């Protein structure tokens, strides 16, 4: 902040001892440090007040933007930031057939992972054991093992 070297500080200390005197010097230093603390505190309070005013002004601007129709469309803002010309969207546009194929795959995956459908599959497998087309040798081997 101030460009004061040790030589200047030494001269100030000698002048303070001569002018104020060694007896009153500690009290004078305490008084000066109180003033410095008070000035710093006032500067900090002033800065905090200005910061709060700026924050409130920013909040008011944001509130106005939110109140406007379609004011806060985050997806649109991201899209505008990433792809302002729309070229990427056109290049990555999925065909209807591909979309349908992907939707079908999702539905198949849901059916496979559904616990209710797994129970139905076990029941179907149990009924297959009673299949009349099963060979006679397989039936006798099952009876012998069971």
Residue range(s) defining the domain that contains residue 38:
1-69
Asked, for residue 23, whether it belongs to a domain, the answer is yes
60 and 92 belong to one structural domain: no
Do 120 and 61 belong together in one domain?
no
Same domain, 7 and 62: yes
In the predicted model, what is the mean pLDDT of the chain? Answer: 77
pLDDT number for residue 70: 65
Residue 30 lies in a domain: yes
Select the more confidently predicted residue: 119 or 11: 11
* pLDDT for res 84: 80
Greater pLDDT, 114 or 49? 49
Question: 138 lies in a domain?
Answer: no
Span 93-103, average pLDDT: 71
Q: Write down the pLDDT at residue 27.
A: 93
Cα separation, 116 vs 110, whole angstroms: 11
DSSP 8-state secondary structure symbol assigned to residue 20: T
What pLDDT is attached to residue 104? 84
Number of folded domains that form the chain? 2
In a domain, 141, yes or no: no
| More confidently predicted of 22 and 67 | 22
Q: What are 40-95's pLDDT values in tens digits? A: 999 999 999 988 988 888 887 777 777 776 666 777 777 788 878 877 777 776 66
Query: Looking at residue 75, what is its pLDDT?
Result: 74
DSSP class per residue in 54-82: HHHHHHHHHHHHHHSTT---HHHHHHHHH
Q: Could you tell me if residue 95 is left (phi over 0), alpha (psi between -120 and 50 degrees) or otherwise beta?
A: beta
Give the pLDDT confidence score for residue 126 in this predicted structure: 61
């Amino acid at each position: 902040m101030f460009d004061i070297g040790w030589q200047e500080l030494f001269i100030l200390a000698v002048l303070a001892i001569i002018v104020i005197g060694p007896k009153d010097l500690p009290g004078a230093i305490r008084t000066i440090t109180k003033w410095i603390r008070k000035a710093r505190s006032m500067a900090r309070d002033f800065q905090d007040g200005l910061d709060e005013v700026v924050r409130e002004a920013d909040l008011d601007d944001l509130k106005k933007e939110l109140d406007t129709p379609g004011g806060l469309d985050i997806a649109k803002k991201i899209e505008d930031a990433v792809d302002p010309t729309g070229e990427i969207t056109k290049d990555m546009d999925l065909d209807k057939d591909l979309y349908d194929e992907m939707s079908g795959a999702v539905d198949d995956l849901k059916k496979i992972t559904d616990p209710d459908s797994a129970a139905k599959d076990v029941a179907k497998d149990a009924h297959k054991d009673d299949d009349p087309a099963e060979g006679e040798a397989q039936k006798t081997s099952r009876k012998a093992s069971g």
